[in-house]
Amino acid sequence: MNFNFELILFYATLISGLIYLVDILFLAPRRKKKNISAEKMPAIVDYARSFFPVLLIVFLFRSFLYEPFRIPSGSLEPTLLVGDFILVNKFDYGIRLPVVHRKMYPTGELQRGDIVVFRYPPDPSSKDLIKRLIGVPGDKISYIDKVLYVNGKKIPQTFEQNTTDKGEDDSTWNVVQKQEDFFGVKHSIFQIPDRPNEDFKNIVVPPNKYFMMGDNRDDSADSRYWGFVPDNNVIGKASVIWMSWDADADWLHKIRWNRIGSVIR
């Protein structure tokens, strides 16, 4: 079952706020007139008065400033690992209305190379995804022999090391780690040498949409499979890792201390 935390938080804030307002306008004056002490106010009113300010602060912070997000899969390895907890910047790409996600005021544009959190295009209400932005509107994208081309420009790759990757079932396989210089954004990618190439040529990104890919190039479900990401689906830009938890490590090494505070690129 999928829970829409944003919607639940919105309704909790709205209901507690309405109860608080009714109490201020009607119930509190009535208690004062009848000399009823504040300790005897109804429990639901007491809870609303206590929780509404907290809920409102959390709702506003999460809606307009930063939203926490947990990395659910290895599609962005080696840049982001399963168990990384990140903050998503909600204001760099524009101020949006909560719940309906309509852009009210533009504050900046998505840039090639950004790591972006967005709602899953085939079913926006089902889940949120995170990928790297490869193409903006009007870009022509090709992927040939596991090398990206954007508007005819070959994206440079430099070998870093041979290593291994691990699946959810603990199976492992060999990968090649390379550094990609994506329009000045230097980051590492994984390629699986035993996985066949899935080439495509000259895909043009439509207006108000984006082309996304994972850094784990041969193990990522992205725009190559489910299409472009509409601008209305964009949530925000991945900014920093605030916690990293390795579920497979022993208890003394669960927290990846070296990743905490890392700026995401």
Active site residues: 75, 131
Identify residue 182 by its one-letter amino acid code.
F
Query: What does each C-alpha distance from 152 to 179, 203, 204, 227 come to in angstroms?
Result: 20, 11, 12, 21
170's CB contacts (< 8 A; 6+ apart) are 248
